[in-house]
Amino acid sequence: MIYKGRFRTVRHKDHAVPAPLPRPLLGQSSWLDVRAWRHTQAEGPLLLVTSPRKTGRAVQRNRFRRQVRMAFLAGVGPLLGCPWVVWVRLGRIAPPLDAISFQDIENQLRLALRRLPSLDTP
């Protein structure tokens, strides 16, 4: 799926999760578990959103994925042209999906994306 011709969401078998998982970008007290790693073949940022069945009904999971995608699109400006895979899933202490607002998702995702190291640092 291509968005605006610059970046796209990750599809099945389109990425490889590194063997030692990267550390979460946010603390344990956050509702979102956001992890990121560099992708060697990607031209721009890729978004991977995981929402398993035990988190809620299909309507709620789809709404959560759409909200994460829209929050990612709103805050992806500094990442354009950078080969990152950003993996977003619910944290362990997250409330039910219908209790999480778009503002909460946007704020936490923006904070996590700011914590990504720049590409020019070793």
Q: What is the pTM of this model?
A: 0.80
Per-residue pLDDT of the chain (122 residues; tens, 9 = 90+): 344 444 555 555 556 677 788 888 888 888 899 998 887 776 778 888 888 888 889 999 999 999 999 999 888 777 777 788 888 988 888 888 888 899 999 999 999 988 887 654 44
Sorted by sequence, the CB contacts under 8 Å of residue 33 that are 6+ apart come out as 24, 26, 88, 89, 90, 91, 92
Q: Distance between CA atoms of 67 and 77, rounded to whole angstroms? A: 17
Classify residue 118 by its DSSP letter: P
C-alpha angle 95-97-9 in degrees, rounded to nearest 5: 125
Express the helix, strand and coil content of the chain in percent, nearest 5 each: 35, 20, 50
> What structural domains does the chain harbor?
2-114 (3.30.230.10)
